[in-house]
Structure formats: structure tokens, C-alpha cells
Chain A
Amino acid sequence: MGVMIALIRKELLLLCRDPHGLLLLFVMPAIFVLIMTFALQNQYAMNKEVTLDFLLFSEDDSGLSRAFERELATMAPLQRLPTQSDWEEMQALAQADKVKFLVRVKPGFDQLLVDREPAVEILFSPGTSPVFASVGQARVTELLNRLYLRYRLATMPGVQSSLEAQSSDLVQTRSLYDDSGAMPSSVQQNVPAWLLFAMFFIAIPLSTTLINERQQGTLLRLQSMGIGPVKLLAGKVIPFFIVNLLQVAVLFLIGLYMIPLLGGDQLTLGENPEGLILVAVAVSLAAVSYALLVAQIASTIEQATIVSGVLNIIMAALGGVMVPRFLMPDAMREIGSYSPMSWGLDGFFDILLRNGTVVDVLPEVGALLGFAALMLSLAIWCYRRAAPERG
């Protein structure tokens, strides 16, 4: 027991004396969580005040085109900005991404509408996301259809127009995320995503200490003192497991308290936070085992840093850390499903987004533990294979 305490204490002391390691494990993910949570806030927040600002230029003065102008300005989430600019100036503003899009009402609007010809032109700014562009286009199309029907009904004797209601009033929407109808916010995606990224980054400090021990003869010295492979491995796994759990605590606390203080949404832990602990433990074991294998494969610190850094970024990109997997095409989503980070992320989402229980996370936990067992077995095999062979 005393031996294990000495090994764990030494490892934690070494990490405390390594400012780069601390930056990598705690500061980098905290910064990523803060930046990405606020940067992607609008991408997730359907229940938030998202506005699509636009400029309108009309070349028609009929009653129907004035009705179009008037009603378009009231359609959420569109927001018409007042301007005195001419069409050329408006295009310059759109080109500079000052608005999401431009709407030009063509001359002869009424006739074009009746003839089902394009009565309106929409020009999207270069920086407008495809999602926002399709929302804008759908709202304009919806209004044009409504005006067309209203016009047609009005010309039919004895028929009362009843199309004043907004189309959106005809549909009730509800999120399965929670009873209040709220949708998951970006903090629910970004905290677990960057937490996973950071947990797997322990490969760098862990492999650095192990390679240093190998190169500086301390590993040899420890072996000569009778410290066997099981104790040596446990002496790495336990302290870095503790570090992983500290990362979980720090990043969840940031989501719970710091992001709301800065004006963002608060992270909610779901109804079964014990499931989060289970996923975190499985992710940690997977990350530590993977780190041990990297340390065994790499012969220099530079190799370990490059190998683990590149592999982490690939696993994160595929696993939905950097780009949410729901935005990926099916093929990429399929490839991403083989990344251990996607298993971890799905496990966290089971609890944080889907209000799942411990039973719901068992498949992901099982996959992560299987990955951990495979990595650990390979690491032990490499360790034994590299037993001292010196003349």
C-alpha cells in the first residue's frame, strides 16, 4: 500500500510541477468550452431570440406588394432593418455580411404572383449559414403562398378569407428534452464534448513521464527495487484516473456556474447524474489505457506528443466533439461511430439530453471498457516485449 501511495503521490507532484500539462488538461478545455458554447449558442437555441436580419428593396407599389412588405417584417425570426440605401448599397452591405440576406420585390409583383412566376428575389450574404438561408427562404415562400391564396379567395364570390393566422399557429411544437418545452442548449453539447477531448489528452503528460522514466533510467531503477509491471502500471493509471475525474468536476462546474454568470445557459445534469459518473469512469479508463499504449509505442516524447495529439484530433473530429454528429452526412456519421469519443459523447448525451438512466448508458460504457481492455492488453504486451535487452 505504501508503495502505491508513493507512486501516486510522485505522479501527482510531477503533474503539479508541469505547467504545460496543467494548461493542456485544465485550461485548454475550459477555454474551448467557453468559446464554443457562446459561439454555437444560436445553432442550438431554437427557443432563444434568434433573428435573421434582412433589407428589403421594393420596385413595386401595388397593394399586394405593400402587404408583402408589411407582413414579412412581422414574421419571426425575420427582422427587417430600416434603410435609405439604394439597391447597389444594399448589395454592398450584404456582401460585407452586415445582414443575412436581401429581398428584392420585382416590378409587376401582383401579376408575377398570380402567374406563379418569381415575384421576389433573395440574395444571401456570403456568411449566412445554409440553415438560416433555408429558414429565410421558407418564410418568404410561405408569405408569398399565403398572399396568393388570399388574392385567389378574395376574387371568388361568397368566400371569406381566413388566412390571417400565421401558418406557425397551425402547428404545435414540443421538445422531448424537457417538460418546459425547452431545447438543449449549446452548453449541453460543448461541456461533454470538450471534456472528452481533454480527458483523452492525458496521453501527452502520461506518456511524457513514462518515456522520461525510460530514458533517464528511473524505470530501470524502480524495476531493480522490485517494482513489478502491475504496480508500475497501477502507479500511472490511478493518478491519471484521479486527474480525469478532476477534469470532469472542473468542466461540469464551469457549465453549472461559470457559463450562466457570463450570460450563457446553465448546464443541466439530467435526472440520473449517477449515469454521468459511470460514463466518466469508463471514458477515463479508456483514455488512460490508450495513453499507456501510446507511451509504450513511442520511443521519444516528440513522437508521443505528435502521435497522441494527431490521434486525439482525428478521434474528436470523427466523434462529434468538433462538429456535432447530427450535422454530418450519414457516411461520416457511420465512420464516426467507431471513435471512442463518440461512445463517450453518446453516453453523456444519454443522460444530459435524453434523460436516460444508468441502463441506457451501459452499451456505451461496455464499448469504452472493451476499448480500455484492448489498449491495456496491448500496452502490457509492448512493455513485456521491450524488456531490457542490453549488452
Chain B
Amino acid sequence: MIAISQLEFSYTPSASPVLKGIDLDVPDNALFGLLGPNGAGKTTLLSLLAGLIPCPQQCVFINGKDLSTPAGRAASRVSLVPQEYAFYQPLTVRENLAFFAGVQGVPAKKIKQRIQDAVAQTGLKERLDSRAGKLSGGLKRRLNLAIGLLDQPRLLLLDEPTVGIDPHSRHFILETIRHLGATGTTVIYTSHYMEEVEELCDRVAIMDHGRILRSGALVKLLAEAPQTGHRRKSSLESLFLDLTTRDLRD
């Protein structure tokens, strides 16, 4: 699905690289956790995959499409769900969904069906005519996700999709993502909630200072993790802290 080899990236030619020698393989239908402290380069990597930043070299491929070309970016069918509530608060759920479907070029006669599918997947059917700004935090997260599903993406990039919501909404969103993975969507999931990633993802990469420090199947990485805590249990969090050092970053 995604094949990245020796990706180097800096925002300006004179600036120090933000991504250094990234090698990454994400298979089809994977639920892939991308972890890293603030400033590790996760957002830059997601921006490259989402086509927000043009790839400088021929080293990022999605389904064989070269992301360094506009045609490759257009054909890669990637959808980014940003961490922010990236929709229009004064518009209703339906108006937001119709707008984002329209700008993605969904044909007018298919928009209604796409909206129905997206709200069915995210449990927003009863809220179609509510103003987005009046929704609770959990519903807003679900609308954020629903917009990302409108174009039926093959690759879904989720940037901390469960920040600031209650356990029920978090559970619902995780179940939705699990269902997406089971039905053929590849998901790249970034989060600071390690237990969430452990629960959801089958593969994980940990990055810091622009490099991938570890990458592979979750079970394999957990086997490497040091045992910590009074129950001496190994966890993704202990591996993450071990690899990225325990120093404060902010």
C-alpha cells in the first residue's frame, strides 16, 4: 500500500531536514499506528502522504503511484482527518458533508448517498440538521471523521482523532476505525494515547527527530519492550519512553 524508502525532507534547502532517511512499509488494510513525541516529524510525514507538501524525490509510493508527481497524488485517494475540528461550525452536519463532498468532486447525484453512508458509519444520522457548532465534543469528532469518509478513501490518515472526548465516544470512534480496517481501508493512526494504539493497531512505527526508530508488527515490538511498573508489565508506552528518552519535550 505505502512504500517509503530513504525519504529526506526539509522545508527549505538551507534548513536542517525534518525527515531523515525514512523507510516505511504499510501493507493494505493495515491499522498502522504512527507514534512520536511532539516535533518528531509525524505531521510532516502525514502532510507528505496527504499531498499537502510535494514529495521532493521519487521515494513515496501509494498503491504504486509516485507522490512526487501531481498525477500520482491525485490518483492515490488519500483522506486526511486533521486533529482540529476541520469543518464549518455555523453550517449543519448535512451542509458540511454536502460541501466537502462537492469540493472533492463527488457527482451531485451521488452526494446524498455518500452522506447517508458517512453518517451511518459514524452514527450521525439523527444529527444531520444540527448546527455543527452546537454538537458535543464526541459528535464533532465523529463529524470530522465522517467528512474524511465521504470520498471512500483507500488510505485514511487520522491525526489524533480521539483527543478530548468521553470514553463512550472514544470507544465508538475506535470501533468505527476497526470496522474501516476490516472493510478494506488502510488507516494510519497517530495518537499520544498508547493504550489506544495498542488496542487498535496491528502494526506500529515509533519515530523521533525525523527518524523511524522502530517499525513492525505490534506483537513483535511489545516483545522488545522493557517491563515497567509494579506489575512488571511490558507495554508500548514503556517501549516508546525507552526509545525516545524520558526527557520533557515542551
Q: Indicate if the CB atoms of B147 and A221 lie closer than 8 Å.
A: yes
Q: Indicate if the CB atoms of A390 and B82 lie closer than 8 Å.
A: no
Q: Indicate if the CB atoms of A10 and B147 lie closer than 8 Å.
A: no
Instruction: Specify the main secondary structure of chain A where it touches its partner.
Output: helix
Q: Indicate if the CB atoms of A14 and B91 lie closer than 8 Å.
A: yes
B230 shortest CB reach to chain A, Å? 35
How many residues on the B side are at the interface (Cβ–Cβ under 8 A)?
40
Q: Indicate if the CB atoms of B99 and A9 lie closer than 8 Å.
A: yes
Number of A-B contacts (CB under 8 A): 85
A228 shortest CB reach to chain B, Å? 10
A261 within 8 A of B: no
Q: Indicate if the CB atoms of A5 and B102 lie closer than 8 Å.
A: yes
Q: Indicate if the CB atoms of B44 and A391 lie closer than 8 Å.
A: yes
Q: When chains A and B are docked, how far (Å) is the Cα of A106 from the Cα of B102?
A: 85
Q: Indicate if the CB atoms of B82 and A391 lie closer than 8 Å.
A: no
Which residues of chain A (196-230) have a CB below 8 Å from chain B?
Answer: 215-218, 220-227
Q: Indicate if the CB atoms of A10 and B99 lie closer than 8 Å.
A: yes
Q: A3 is contacted by which of B78, B82, B103 (Cβ under 8 Å)? A: B103
Q: Which residues of B contact A14 (CB under 8 A)?
A: 88, 90-91
Q: Which of B45-53, B168-176, B177-185, B221-229 contacts A (4 or more CB under 8 A)?
A: B45-53
Residue interface mask B57-87, A partner, CB < 8 A = 1: 0000000000000000110001110111111
Residue interface mask A295-326, B partner, CB < 8 A = 1: 00000000000000000000000000000000
Which residues of chain A (223-240) have a CB below 8 Å from chain B?
Answer: 223-227
A388 within 8 A of B: yes
Q: When chains A and B are docked, how far (Å) is the Cα of A10 from the Cα of B78?
A: 23
Given contacts A2-B108, A3-B105, A217-B83, contact A224 B51 (CB under 8 A): yes
B160 shortest CB reach to chain A, Å? 12
Q: Indicate if the CB atoms of A18 and B90 lie closer than 8 Å.
A: yes
Given contacts A3-B103, A14-B90, A220-B52, contact A390 B44 (CB under 8 A): yes
B80 shortest CB reach to chain A, Å? 4
B196 within 8 A of A: no
Q: Indicate if the CB atoms of B85 and A216 lie closer than 8 Å.
A: yes
Given contacts A2-B105, A3-B105, contact A225 B100 (CB under 8 A): yes
Q: When chains A and B are docked, how far (Å) is the Cα of A389 from the Cα of B10?
A: 10
Q: Indicate if the CB atoms of A10 and B39 lie closer than 8 Å.
A: no
Which residues from chain B sit less than 8 Å from chain A, CB to CB? 11, 18, 38-41, 43-44, 47, 50-53, 73-74, 78-80, 82-91, 95, 98-100, 102-105, 107-108, 147, 151
Q: List 26 A-B pairs, Cβ < 8 Å.
A: A3-B105, A6-B99, A10-B95, A10-B99, A13-B95, A17-B91, A215-B84, A217-B85, A218-B86, A220-B52, A220-B86, A221-B86, A222-B103, A223-B52, A224-B50, A224-B52, A225-B100, A225-B151, A226-B73, A388-B52, A389-B11, A390-B43, A390-B47, A391-B18, A391-B38, A391-B39
Known: A10-B95, A391-B40. 7 other contacts (CB 8 A): A9-B99, A13-B90, A14-B90, A217-B83, A391-B38, A391-B41, A391-B43
Closest 9 CB pairs of A and B: A6-B102, A217-B84, A217-B86, A17-B90, A217-B82, A224-B80, A221-B86, A224-B50, A391-B39
Which residues from chain A sit less than 8 Å from chain B, CB to CB? 2-3, 5-7, 9-10, 13-14, 17-18, 215-218, 220-227, 387-391
